[in-house]
């Protein structure tokens, strides 16, 4: 149980275009979803927290107008990178929790974004 | 000072060795301490969690938390080549609101050589 999927797993886009990444909880209802970014050989950095039906809470330094997060249902959250630039190239990982303690947070397999 | 410090390694050991991985932290509000394993280009998977101070054992893995020293460890006994991965420590304040957020260490890249 507790499976989280992400789509796509890998995407290449041109500079200036927008890219949408989906995060789905497959076998539980996710009241909260988290979006992380991970650069090579670096740790996961939390970008934002989203609760179903509410606006996302962004971490300091993360541009909310550039990284649009929507958590419209209890099983789906989306991250849209708008007007992507090469410096946005990174590994984006979502996690989801349905309740319980902090460790009961399940990670997706990640999406590798390359902006050319 | 970063909230969570972890030596990124890399760490290379022979098969069968005991591996010791460590993290230090500065935020005394952390209550949950987790260890994740991450294979290359994959999402992290939870290995173990500990609440507050103490030890926890699960098979070949032992997690230790010393809150007085703000120091946590993960020990891997009889290490196997399949244990080769990046190991991330993560911490959380516990329940409620922003306390569910996880703060990660940088990760330690471990290679177990056959």
Does residue B97 surpass a pLDDT of 70?
A: no
Round the CA-based radius of gyration of chain B to a whole number and report it: 14
Counted across chains A and B, CB pairs separated by less than 8 A come out at: 67
Q: Which residues of chain B does A93 touch, with a Cβ-Cβ cutoff of 8 Å?
A: 43-44
Cα of B78 to nearest chain A Cα, Å? 26
Q: Which residues of B touch A (CB under 8 A)?
A: 6, 8, 31-32, 34, 36, 41-46, 49, 51, 88, 92-95, 98-107, 109
- Looking at residue B82, what is its pLDDT? 95
Q: Which residues of chain A have pLDDT under 70?
A: 1
Residues B74, B34: Cα–Cα separation, whole Å: 10
Does residue B83 surpass a pLDDT of 90?
A: yes
Does residue B93 surpass a pLDDT of 90?
A: no
DSSP label at residue B70: T
- Looking at residue B34, what is its pLDDT? 94
A112 touches chain B (CB under 8 A): yes
- Looking at residue A31, what is its pLDDT? 87
Encode pLDDT of B36-68 as tens digits: 999 988 999 999 999 888 899 999 999 999 999
- Looking at residue A105, what is its pLDDT? 87
Cα of B4 to nearest chain A Cα, Å? 10
User: What integer is the mean pLDDT of B22-45?
Assistant: 93
Does residue B98 surpass a pLDDT of 70?
A: no
Place of tokens 């987790």: B34
HEC states along chain A? CCCEEEECCEEEECCCCCEEEEEEECCCCCCEEEEEEECCCCCEEEEEEEECCCCCEECCCCCCCCEEEEEEECCEEEEEECCCCHHHCEEEEEEEECCCCCCCCEECCCEEEEEC
A6, A94 Cβ separation under 8 angstroms: yes
Tokens found for residue A53: 């039906």
- Select the residue of A44, A106, A108 nearest B104 (Cβ to Cβ): A44
């Amino acid at each position: 149980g507790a499976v989280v999927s992400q789509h796509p797993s890998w995407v290449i886009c041109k500079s200036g275009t927008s890219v949408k990444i989906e995060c789905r909880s497959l076998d539980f209802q996710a009241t909260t979803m988290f979006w992380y970014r991970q650069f090579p050989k670096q740790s996961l950095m939390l970008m934002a927290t989203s609760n179903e039906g509410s606006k996302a809470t962004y971490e300091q330094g993360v541009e909310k107008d550039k990284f649009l997060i929507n958590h419209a249902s209890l099983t789906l959250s989306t991250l849209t990178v708008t007007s992507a630039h090469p410096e946005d190239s990174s590994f984006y990982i979502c996690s989801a929790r349905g309740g319980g303690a902090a460790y009961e947070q399940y990670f997706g397999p990640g999406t590798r974004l390359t902006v050319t | 000072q970063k909230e969570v410090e972890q030596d990124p390694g890399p760490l290379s050991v022979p098969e069968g060795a005991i591996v010791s991985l460590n993290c230090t932290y500065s935020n005394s509000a952390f209550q949950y301490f987790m260890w994740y394993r991450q294979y290359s280009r994959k999402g992290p998977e939870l290995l173990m969690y500990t609440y507050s101070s103490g030890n926890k054992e699960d098979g070949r893995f032992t997690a230790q938390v010393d809150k007085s020293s703000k120091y946590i460890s993960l020990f891997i006994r009889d290490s196997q080549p399949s244990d080769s991965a990046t190991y991330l420590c993560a911490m959380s304040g516990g329940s409620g609101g922003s306390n569910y957020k996880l703060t990660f260490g940088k990760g330690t890249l471990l290679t177990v050589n056959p």
